[in-house]
Amino acid sequence: MRTRSKLLLTALAAAVVMASAVGTATAGRWSTSEQRFRINWASLEISGFATNVRCAVTVEGSYHYRTFLKTTGALLGTITGVTARHPCTGGELWFFNGTENLEGTTLANSLPWVEAYESFTGTLPRRVGFLRKLWRGLKKLLKATFLGITIRCTYTTSVTEPAHAATRIEEATGAMTTVELEGTIRSETGGCPSVTLLGSGPITTPSGARITLTLI
């Protein structure tokens, strides 16, 4: 009887270990409390010209689903709206959003932009510092001074030159707090310099509510 009981306890312990391992192995998806989001940058900075261009920018988008795979390159959602508030400083910035008017001409619409999963920083399951995402298709027109001449330059993020959007995650609550945008992009316009994006701003739902992220 003792031998049988010992074997039973050993089997139960092994089952618990296996269940724990399976649970850890299958925890490969993120879950958000909301699908729609808004990001506000009070000063999105674009460097590469004689002076840095700074502009207040608002971006809106949505995740395709409330849960998504923790796999590099997995499609998360789309950016469906973007506006730049004029005037900017150091130059001007327009987005190809189908509504921006440049000297009587409405710029073409490049939306929606693609948002894909890149990586995360931290230690699972609790300590997630940043959720990093890739933005592709972001198209903008810049007017600034380069080599003493005022020029207009067009830029578009791509698979090879994406914008990196790192969303900071609050450890205690799992709430998304800010999005830090960065990336270096070459111009599609001859004679224009490459530019670097840099900005940090809060992320919420369009109504201003917080969005939380959990691993499932």
Residue 126: predicted pLDDT: 59
Residue 64: CB partners within 8 Å, gap ≥ 6? Answer: 75, 76, 77, 78
Second-level CATH architecture of 29-215:
Beta Barrel (2.40)
What are 92-119's pLDDT values in tens digits?
Answer: 999 999 999 888 899 999 999 999 999 9
Residue 45: predicted pLDDT: 97
pLDDT greater at residue 9 or residue 181: 181
Check: CB of residue 139 under 8 Å from CB of residue 156.
Answer: yes
d(CA 102, CA 203): 29
Residue 214: predicted pLDDT: 86
Domain ranges of the chain: 29-215
The model's pTM: 0.83
What are 203-216's pLDDT values in tens digits?
Answer: 999 999 999 998 87
Residue 53: CB partners within 8 Å, gap ≥ 6? Answer: 45, 46, 47, 88, 89, 90, 91, 92, 93, 142, 144
